[in-house]
Amino acid sequence: MNMQNKTFKRGLGLSLILVFLLSGCSNNDSANESAANAYPFSYSDTTMGTSFSIKVSQLPTGVRPKKVKIAIREKLEQINQQMSTYITDSELSRINSSTDMTSRFISEGLYKVVETAQEINHLSEGAYDITVGSLVNLWGFGPSKALSHTPKDEDIQKLLADVGSDKIVLTARLHTLSKTRPNLYMDLSSLAKGYAVDEIAAILDALKITHYMVEIGGELNIKGKNKQGKNWRIGVEAPNAKKRELLRVLPISDIAMATSGDYRNYFEQDGQRFSHTIDPRTGYPITHKLVSVTVLGDTTMKADAWATALMVLGPEKGYQIAEQQKLAVLFISKMGAGFLEQETPLFTEYTKRKGQ
Ligand code: ADP
Ligand code: MG
């Protein structure tokens, strides 16, 4: 690589770690299409700037696959129209671009997601903060185009004045939101995928489907058994650029899971990597040695938000808060030429129990 290269690179980079599904029985099986097609219902496509995959291993009689597919498609379109920052006339984009600070009624979906974000902000001591949006954009990770140079410190400081969860006011009874700063910009990318996964799972639940796997961009919600009548098996790939190896196989069921990592979305300048996760307390991308954080939980939305929050907090403080909050988390950090895995007691307990 040319070290003098001043242009920013953004994109996929090396997939050092991947969370993927194992549809077969052996450890070396990766998800393969013919096996996927054998599911009575399977649906894969793209949404929210990433791919999604839904598999149902038993479809109740009378439930038509076409009907399920339409319901899922419509739900995804609705969520995007509520909370995407990439759609200029989405409900969220209209709030972000307006300088109006009066209270407004917001949709149930948007309310639920912002309310959860506020809760995780509090529990993470401010490390997780959806109002970091303007800085995400400044660093070139938002819908606006990529940068040609690192942002100026004075621009970062200026935007930091509009960052902070206290600048969002919600009223639970009326489902209203108001901003206390005209330029407040909310970014829900860190939990919207998780929310969408839960909403699709709820559609399947309502149709009395009890064996399914729903995944959007690596965030999952799993119930019941796979096609072989066994627990769904989730592979966590080892961070090895040369060889695809499995670090872990988690045989899990009835659980939500989300992973945050820096191996996919970053840009490079002069050989230095800049993460897409911004520390809202400094306005700069995080720099510690965490490679990825995987969180298990009841809802994918919370697991997704926590994965980002713990990524900001780092391996020490993050571990401490995860333990206090009784979260099931696997942290993977860079260590010399290798990687260090640390899991909270609940993660160990859960994966052991389910591994029986
Ligand atoms: P991914 O999009 O790779 O699944 P995450 O769920 O961790 O990763 O979300 C990262 C995104 O969240 C960033 O691209 C940015 O839009 C937003 N973000 C960055 N820093 C923060 C933060 N401190 N708190 C909340 N959201 C953040
Ligand atoms: Mg997240």
CB distance 195 to ligand 1 below 6 Å: no
Say yes or no: CB of residue 141 within 6 Å of ligand 1.
Answer: yes
**pLDDT score for 265:** 59
The whole-number average pLDDT for the span 55-76 is 97
Q: What residues sit around ligand 2, an ion, with C-beta below 5 angstroms?
A: 190, 260, 304, 307-308
Q: How many CB atoms lie within 10 A of CB 347?
A: 20
Q: Is 14 exposed, middle or buried (0-12, 13-18, 19+ CB in 10 A)?
A: exposed
One-letter amino acid identity for 342? Q
Model pLDDT for residues 131-175, shown as the tens digit of each residue: 999 999 999 999 887 777 789 999 999 999 999 999 999 999 999
The alpha carbon dihedral of 308, 310, 313, 314 has a sign of negative
The full DSSP string for 182-242 is TT-----TTTHHHHHHHHHHHHHHHTT--SEEEEETTEEEEESB-TTSSBEEEEEE-S-SS
**Whole-number Å distance between alpha carbons of 142 and 187:** 9
| Residue 20 C-beta-side C-alpha neighbours within 13 Å | 20
Distance CA 74, CA 235 (A): 30
Give the residue ranges of DSSP H helices in the chain: 33-37, 65-83, 91-97, 108-123, 133-138, 153-160, 192-206, 300-313, 315-324, 345-355
Distance 1 CA to ligand 2 centre (A): 30
pTM: 0.89
Work out the average pLDDT over 290-299: 93
Q: What is the pLDDT of residue 104?
A: 98
Could you report the per-residue pLDDT of 303-329, keeping only the tens digit for each? 999 999 999 999 999 999 999 999 999
Give counts: helices (H), strands (E), the chain.
10, 17
Question: What is the pLDDT, as a whole number, of residue 147?
Answer: 74
Q: Would you give the end-to-end CA distance of the chain in angstroms?
A: 47
Q: How many residues does the chain have?
A: 356
Q: Which ligand is in closest contact with the Cα of 187?
A: 1
Residue 267 · residue 8 · CB < 8 Å:
yes
Q: Is the CB of 164 under 6 A from ligand 1?
A: no
Q: How far is CA 120 from CA 97, 310, 336, 347, 351, in A?
A: 25, 10, 32, 19, 24
Residue 345 backbone phi and psi in degrees, to 5: -55, -35
DSSP H or E run through 43: strand 41-47
Ligand sitting nearest the alpha carbon of 304 = 2
The angle, 0 to 180 degrees and rounded to 10, between the axes of the packed helices 192-206 and 300-313 is 160
Task: Report which of residues 79 and 253 the model is more confident about.
Answer: 79
